Structure 1
Amino acid sequence: MMIEAVIWDFGGVLTTSPFEAFARFERERGFPTDIIRRTNAANHLENAWAKFERAEIDIDGFDKLFAAESLALGAEVRGRDVLPLLAGDLRPEMVEALKRINAKFKTGCITNNLPANAIGSAAGRGLYIAEVMALFDHVIESAKIGLRKPDPRIYEMMVEALKVDPKRCVYLDDLGINLKPARAMGMTTIKVTSAAQAIAELEAATALKLT
């Protein structure tokens, strides 16, 4: 079946993954390995991370709740200390792939993000990210709509906005749990582990040369 649209996650797909920053932070502070990722994964639909990405709590609330949840798993990590670790670097090869795909197909971005100003960033970086986001035909941000992946409704909102059949869509994400609802709808899914791997699978799915 011919592809009509490519839908992207943002962090960990168009940017580098924060997982390396998590691991470095844990080593430097002497925290248990993967304490941040384990805290994020525990009760993943209603934990501090989920509530913050739906803008149900503010930074202070996130800081306290994340600290309590991580302490229950073995070590108290303040939520405020985790936030700066999220600012990954844009992957230029993925941005180039997006530009080439955008010239041929509809494009969308579904991102689980945080309320505005939750992560400090340099003005220049923020401007460049805004330019990348402007490439998409439609963007859905969890913090703006109070809904986050993997809730199936957020994927339904995207295909409705793009006016496409999910069976004619490709969806990219770096988290397997976020790929499952898209796959259940009939989308071709790509789990991003590296830029090179993702681009190779995108080329196979779209029959486009992306590098």
Structure 2
Amino acid sequence: MVNSNVKAVIWDFGGVFSSSPFEAFNHYEAEKGLPKDIIRKINSINPDTNAWALLERSELTPDEFDKKFAEEAEALGYTIPGKDVLGLLSGRLRPAVFEALKTCKKHFAVACITNNAPIGKSPSMTSDPEKIKAVAEIFANFDHVIESSKVGLRKPDPKIYELMCEALNVEPAACVYLDDLGINLKPARAMGMTTIKVLNEAQLLSDLSEATGLEF
């Protein structure tokens, strides 16, 4: 039975509709003989002012990111061009999650909050024409989208979740929010949203079914 308390389902994109870029990071690290998760470690140092944060708020161009990220890596003793990292951001799409979105749309408002970078033509940061088309089809189903690179805010800033609730005219307690990063779920949960940490596709669909009362 559909959960009548739910009015909106809000989704992250990367790591939810697509496989996590962290998988690609780890593959790259293994290929280059780098420590596992070193890219994530670099991105966690000075998380509001580092190259990654600045890029997602459109405060750096991709070329500037290339240089700044390389400097941050070099400070830890590693050689990692920022352009290499940007090339790892586009994961594999998950068609079953797209189908779940379309099912949710029949019953609730559906929306997306994504931290992204101002590169290419796609919010998923891919340059593959076929993938851009597939991603555009997903985004066409949302009632509202907030991209960090366009609003100058990025998760986990609570303001970005407040903006979404205002846009959808819903209370946080009436929202389900999905993200693959716990740090991004924390402020949403504190506001009263039902949160789902996405670990994999099967778990996502199971937890979303439990939260909404829908079958996927």
> Which bin holds the TM-score, normalised by the shorter protein?
over 0.9
Q: Which residue of 2 aligns with 1:5?
A: 8
TM-score if structure 2 supplies the norm length? 0.94
Tell me the SS of whatever aligns to 1:86: coil
| Equivalent pair of 2:126/2:132 in contact (CA under 8 Å) | no
- Code of the residue aligned with 2:149 in structure 1: it is A
Consecutive unaligned residues in structure 1, runs of 5 or more = none
Deviations 1:97-123 (A, max 9, x none): 111001110011000011031845221
Number of residue-to-residue matches in the alignment: 210
Is 1:95 the equivalent of 2:101?
no
Which runs of 4 or more aligned residues in structure 1 lie more than 4 Å from their structure 2 counterparts after TM superposition?
none
Q: Which residue of 2 aligns with 1:46?
A: 49
TM-score if structure 1 supplies the norm length? 0.96
Task: State the alpha-carbon separation in 1 of the partners of residues 200 and 126 from structure 2.
Answer: 25
| Equivalent pair of 1:32/1:74 in contact (CA under 8 Å) | no
Deviations 1:54-97 (A, max 9, x none): 00011121011111112222312110011111111110111111
User: Which one of 181, 184, 203 corresponds to residue 197 of structure 1?
Assistant: 203
Q: Which residue of 1 aligns with 2:175?
A: 169
Task: State the alpha-carbon separation in 1 of the partners of residues 75 and 189 from structure 2.
Answer: 33
Q: Which residue of 2 aligns with 1:208?
A: 214
Map 1:1-211 to 2 at 5 A. 2-117=5-120, 119-210=125-216
Consecutive unaligned residues in structure 2, runs of 5 or more = none
- Tell me how far 1:31 sits from its aligned partner: 1.4
Tell me the SS of whatever aligns to 1:147: coil
Task: State the alpha-carbon separation in 1 of the partners of residues 166 and 120 from structure 2.
Answer: 29
Deviations 1:16-62 (A, max 9, x none): 11111111111111112211010111111111000000000111210
Q: Report the RMSD for the aligned CA atoms in angstroms.
A: 1.2
Task: State the alpha-carbon separation in 2 of the partners of residues 74 and 196 from structure 1.
Answer: 39
